[in-house]
Chains A and B, each alone.
Chain A
Amino acid sequence: MEENEIINGLTEAVVNGKKDQAAELSQKSLDEGVDPYIAVINGLAKGMEIMSEKYENKQAFMPHLLMASNAMYAGMDVLIPHIKTEGSGARKVLVIGAVEGDVHDIGKNLVKTMMSAVGFEAIDLGKDVPVEQFVEAAAQNKADVMSISTLMTSTMDNMQRVMDGLNSKGIRNNMKVIVGGAPITADFATEIGADATKTDAMEAARWAKEAVESLSPGRWD
């Protein structure tokens, strides 16, 4: 199989939500000597991006998106271990979770998927994540981006507490922070000192990819 054929096949497997096909083609790309980074970005991630655009345009919905996401991860599970992690190929780190008190994670998972698609290594803390755990995970993993979500108005205060925690540990400016979820407005994001909020997962990922460029490389040293 030609490299192009494999790459296009990976994109198609994600768009069509074919998990097994994505895993098989990923293995094939390794066997054929395709650069795994290229296979992820130009193959799998591109498929996810296509689906995300379809979702924005109301041509695809949650069922299609979740199928695509499963396919992307099935392929990434095969490819990621083979991507070199040093130097220019190093992946930026995302620490992501739904804030303490909130157990809703569909939106959070979509953000994680799109962030992975644009090249982030996602440290997923899950849902109902204690405030301290966000702070600790950021320090431990030398986070580039932190994403905090909630669907419930009653837990919005906990986002402020995460920001306070980052500040008191002196690491707030080592990363970009994005907050999201149905009740979150741009005013609220500004009020608690986050860098951004976006209305959908793809926009969040695009923002994050660009935002990390302004972070200084040695800031965690």
Chain B
Amino acid sequence: MDEYTPKKRLALALRGESVDRMPAISVTQTGTVEQMEACGAFWPEANEDAEKMATLAEAGHTVVGFEAVRVPFDITAEAEFFGCEIKAGTKEQQPSVVGHVIKSIEDIEKLKDYDLSEGRIGVVCDAIRILAGKYGDELPIMGSMLGPFSLAQHMNGDDWFMAIMTDEKFAFALMELTTEFNIAYAKKMVDNGADTMVIIDPTASAMLIGDEFYQKFVVPAHKRIVDTMHELNVATVLHICGDTTPSLALMESSDVDAISVDQNVDVATALSKVDSAVIIGNLDPVSVLWKKTPEQIREVSKDLLAAGAGLLGPGCGIVSKTPNANLQAMIEMAKGHTY
């Protein structure tokens, strides 16, 4: 008798509570070409059409075997929503942000009125509703969004890195805009059926900006998002790229439930740096998950599980060319692991 649904199992595991075995999920993007070919929903259309987005997300479960469904597949919808120019994606590649919209505090004012039903923000919420309608009782419905610091960088460009040092008033005003947006967007995803929220904030890496700026600008923003999610009984995961080892305690201070670490982080060391946050990771998405054999992936997974990974997963977004068999090797290792 299996008393845990995948939904319940993940909800417990993310909060560090006891559970029969490890859930097999990916907190980072799941779309791959093999899945697209199997389900008929391809990038870039699956980034723009709610039905197709839901179909490709569903393939992560039905075709590959992940015990969750997750949308979206890229991290540009937020910047696009605010008018940043986007370089379109392809079947194998996610879209990218190429233009920026904010130069001054006046520009921030102009962007304060928005309608969350518009653009791909609305599409993601619609896809969540479709998935929740179909799988909501059984599977975790994971929503993901670009975090407030990285969104600010998308909107302001590389000047953002200097603004946090030279123009605090502007920097706090822009963080207020992005954080308010993140809170509203996350709530809307939850309204539509999301039960787990992933915040992806790559630019906020303390490796790039240092602890002082991280504490000043990033922690309070993340905390507000996390607090809002906790009020709604939604577990939160924070993913930041790079070697975040020295900053894990600071990342945890936002009260986030779990931290997804990239392949540059040693999992055992990471565990020693956090109090109660679950550490998720961290198979190298390129040199291991994409390029190695299922057998080798099982070996690397074994080491990560032995090191104490709370959830086994990729260290960053899954590469679109990754074979199903490789993902399935990782899934099999997660499913076989008891805590």
A interface, CB within 8 angstroms of B: 58, 60-64, 66-67, 70, 101-104, 106, 109, 128, 152-156, 182-183, 185, 187-188
Contact = CB atoms under 8 A, between A and B. Distances in A.
B165 A64 contact: yes
A60 B208 CA distance: 9
Interface of B: 87, 92-94, 96-98, 158, 161-162, 164-166, 208-210, 213, 241-242, 246, 285-287, 290, 319-321
For A109, A153, A187, which residue has the most chain B Cβ atoms within 10 angstroms?
A153
A63 B164 contact: yes
9 contacts: A61-B208, A63-B164, A64-B165, A153-B285, A153-B286, A153-B290, A154-B93, A154-B321, A156-B286
Given A103-B97, A154-B93, A154-B320, A63 B287 contact: no
Contacts of B161: 62-63, 66, 106
B210 A61 contact: yes
A187 B287 contact: yes
Contacts of A66: 158, 161-162
A146 to B, nearest CB: 22
A185 B87 CA distance: 26
A70 B246 CA distance: 28
B209 to A, nearest CB: 5
Contacts of B94: 152, 154
A105 B161 CA distance: 13
Nearest to B89: A154
A200 to B, nearest CB: 11
A63 B286 contact: no
Nearest to B97: A103
B208 A62 contact: yes
B273 to A, nearest CB: 15
B93 A152 contact: yes
B93 A63 contact: no
B98 A103 contact: yes
A154 B319 contact: yes
A153 B319 contact: yes
Given A63-B161, A63-B162, A153-B319, 12 more contacts: A58-B246, A63-B164, A63-B213, A66-B162, A103-B87, A104-B96, A128-B87, A152-B94, A152-B96, A153-B286, A154-B321, A156-B286
